[in-house]
Chain A
């Protein structure tokens, strides 16, 4: 089981800030999880998501393990006036 967090406009779009998923196979990647989340929440596949695993930016090929915390985030917009 992994924990998935949504932020900003993605929390608005999905209607949730947090969900949980079972990894379907050993060696499952962030890309696999994004595909499942895309189906579950009707997320557009090509949007420029920022991804993190356990609070560090990660790319879609990152292999996940049970207990990981995945963040699916819109492009950052801190510091803007």
Chain B
């Protein structure tokens, strides 16, 4: 049976997600889990002194999903973890809104912390997503720091 969309461990979606539901889903993957680490990226209301009304993301959809799936598989190979889940939104997101959630489960906390940190750092470098900010002056694309 094909799993429901929200059961897929890697997703790019417009709609919001529930941190609690994602944590519950990863906990269901094994009774050997002793730690779940979650990174939640949230839209801010200012950037470099500018007021931000909303952020939105453009994606190269087919490549972005493949890159996210490869990122999860790579994390499962590199770290002594039990499971990892990643969901990233692509829509206009107001300050305080959820952008991205990475959850990592392992037997012990150290590997989950390390893997979660590696996942968000690697996502920024390997997944074709682009952020646009809307300010009172208009829209502008964000150029990431080197």
| Chain A residues close to B by CB (< 8 Å) | 5, 7-9, 12, 50, 52, 55-57, 71, 73-81
| Docked-complex contact A79 and B141, CB < 8 angstroms | no
A8-B58, A52-B60, A52-B63 known; A78-B127 Cβ under 8 A: yes
Interchain nearest-CB distance for B78 vs A (Å): 18
Q: Specify which chain B residues have a CB less than 8 angstroms from the CB of A7 in the assembled complex.
A: 58, 60, 128, 130
Chain B residues 66-121 with CB under 8 Å of chain A are 66, 88, 99-100, 120
| Cβ of B124 under 8 Å from chain A | yes
| Docked-complex contact A77 and B142, CB < 8 angstroms | yes
Chain B residues 22-70 with CB under 8 Å of chain A are 41-44, 57-60, 62-64, 66
A81-B44, A81-B99 known; A74-B129 Cβ under 8 A: no
Q: Specify which chain A residues have a CB less than 8 angstroms from the CB of B60 in the assembled complex.
A: 5, 7, 52, 55, 71, 73
A78-B123, A80-B144, A81-B42 known; A55-B129 Cβ under 8 A: no
| Chain B residues close to A by CB (< 8 Å) | 41-44, 57-60, 62-64, 66, 88, 99-100, 120, 123-132, 141-144
A7-B130, A12-B141 known; A76-B125 Cβ under 8 A: yes
| Docked-complex contact B43 and A81, CB < 8 angstroms | yes
Q: Specify which chain A residues have a CB less than 8 angstroms from the CB of B128 in the assembled complex.
A: 7, 50, 52, 71, 73, 76, 78
| Docked-complex contact A79 and B63, CB < 8 angstroms | no
| Docked-complex contact A74 and B143, CB < 8 angstroms | yes
A9-B141, A74-B141, A76-B128 known; A81-B41 Cβ under 8 A: yes
| Given pairs A8-B132, A76-B125, A81-B42, 15 additional interface contacts (CB within 8 A) | A8-B58, A9-B130, A12-B141, A55-B60, A73-B130, A75-B144, A76-B124, A76-B126, A77-B144, A78-B59, A79-B100, A79-B120, A80-B41, A80-B124, A80-B142
